[in-house]
Each structure stands twice: as C-alpha cells, then as structure tokens.
A and B are shown apart, each in its own frame.
Chain A
Amino acid sequence: KQEVTQIPAALSVPEGENLVLNCSFTDSAIYNLQWFRQDPGKGLTSLLLIQSSQREQTSGRLNASLDKSSGRSTLYIAASQPGDSATYLCAATRSYNTDKLIFGTGTRLQVFP
C-alpha cells in the first residue's frame, strides 16, 4: 500500500530564502508524482508533474525532482516571496495514469517579509 509522507509539516522563512520541501513514498512503482499548492479555503492547483521516466521538472522559480530508487521527491523554491505562502502537497499515482493519487499531509509554508 502506497504511503506518502511530507516533512516538515510546517515551515516559516524570511523572504528571499531558497527552500526545499520533502516528499517520501513507500512504493517506487509510481506512474507520476505531482506537486500541488493549496491556498486557505481554496482548491488545489497543480504546480509540477514528474513522470516516472523523468528526474525533474522546472517551472519558473520551482524545481521538482524525483528519485524513485530512494522513494523521494523534493520541491525547490528559489528566492521565496510572501505570495508563496500556502500549503504544498505531493501526491503519487500507482502504475497507470488514471489511477488514484495518494496524497501526503502537506507542508504549510509561511514566507514573511
């Protein structure tokens, strides 16, 4: 059974810092891994998707990496801004693309000016 864990649960950093959010999964037979952002009272917004054949994806100041052998993914946020404050969730699918996502519990990020 796939289990997804995110560390830390909460993070508070000053503006401008580069930071790393961690995601661990127990079953390496994943199809893809997605990172989402959730603002309070809102739905989830997809940030990056890494397919199992890929090692990383980049979008602007965000970079996500995937290491299936160690069961880890990291989300790197460069030059953090107060607008980055949100909860970040990672989620993994099993063996095919329409299978269900298993979510981690999220990292609540606060970036202060």
Chain B
Amino acid sequence: DAGVIQSPRHEVTEMGQEVTLRCKPISGHNSLFWYRQTMMRGLELLIYFNNNVPIDDSGMPEDRFSAKMPNASFSTLKIQPSEPRDSAVYFCASSSDSGTGELFFGEGSRLTVL
C-alpha cells in the first residue's frame, strides 16, 4: 500500500497568492482529515470528511480556507489569498470506518508564505 500521498511536499509563495494542497488517501479508507501543525499551536484539525461529505469544518480558520473531496481518492485544501500566518505544515490523514479508527498520516506539505 502506498500510504497517504500529499503534494506538494514544499511550497513557497508570496502573500496574496492562491495555494492548493492535494491529498490522496489510502485506498478503501472513507474518512479523510486535514490537520495543520505549527510550533505555537501544535496539531489542529481543520476539517474532516466521511464518505466524501464534510462532517466538521469548525477548525477552518476563516473564509480564505476551503476544502473539497470530489471523490473517494482525492481531496484539496485551498487558501486564497494566502497570508504569512498561514505558514505551517499541513497534514492529510485517512482512516476506515470498518476498522479500529487508526489514523494514517501523509508526510505533510510545508507551506511558507512570504
């Protein structure tokens, strides 16, 4: 199994630009989570999907952030316009309803907004 795949691994952009992060969950997993990690705040859940439907987006910081899951094998997290305070590592994770709930993480996308 390839695991959870995220792209890009690193992104450097200028303030005001649009950023799109991508995630491919483990095949057969039907829950997908987007987390953000910073030194100050640790790991924060932004949004999670179950069977492609957003269940809880209360962690999305503001309207500049949006996430979609058009099908079971792909999700995007978009920031428009980006700001320097959005600089962080963004993780995608997936799990299966039929399992124990064990969560599997991708390697993360490190975002730097100048």
- Interface set of A (CB-CB < 8 Å, partner B): 31-32, 34, 36, 42-46, 49, 51, 89, 91, 93, 96-106
8 A-B contact pairs sorted by A residue (CB < 8 Å): A32-B101, A43-B106, A43-B107, A44-B93, A91-B103, A93-B101, A98-B101, A101-B103
Q: Chain B's interface: helix, strand, loop or mixed, by majority?
A: strand
- What is the CA–CA distance of A89 and B103 in the complex, to the nearest angstrom? 13
Instruction: Tell me if B31 is interfacial: C-beta within 8 Å of chain A.
Output: yes
The number of residue pairs between A and B whose CB atoms lie closer than 8 Å in the complex comes to 55
Beyond A32-B100, A96-B101: 8 further Cβ-contacts under 8 Å? A32-B102, A43-B107, A46-B104, A46-B105, A91-B103, A93-B101, A101-B45, A103-B42
Contacts of A100 in B (CB 8 A): 33, 45, 48, 56
Measured CB to CB, the closest approach of chain B to A50, in angstroms, equals 9
Contacts of A45 in B (CB 8 A): 105
Q: Which of B13-57 contact A (CB under 8 A)?
A: 30-31, 33, 42-43, 45, 48, 50, 56
Contacts of A106 in B (CB 8 A): 42
- What is the CA–CA distance of A102 and B45 in the complex, to the nearest angstrom? 8
Contact assessment for A97 and B100 in the assembled complex, using a CB-CB cutoff below 8 Å: yes
- What is the CA–CA distance of A102 and B56 in the complex, to the nearest angstrom? 13
Instruction: Tell me if B70 is interfacial: C-beta within 8 Å of chain A.
Output: no
Contact assessment for A97 and B43 in the assembled complex, using a CB-CB cutoff below 8 Å: no
Contacts of B97 in A (CB 8 A): 97-98
Contact assessment for A46 and B103 in the assembled complex, using a CB-CB cutoff below 8 Å: yes
- What is the CA–CA distance of A106 and B18 in the complex, to the nearest angstrom? 31
Contact assessment for B101 and A31 in the assembled complex, using a CB-CB cutoff below 8 Å: yes
Of the candidates B91, B95, B104, the one whose C-beta lies within 8 Å of that of A98 is: B95
Instruction: Tell me if B99 is interfacial: C-beta within 8 Å of chain A.
Output: yes
Contact with A along B66-110 (1 / 0, CB 8 A): 000000000000000000000000010101010111111111100
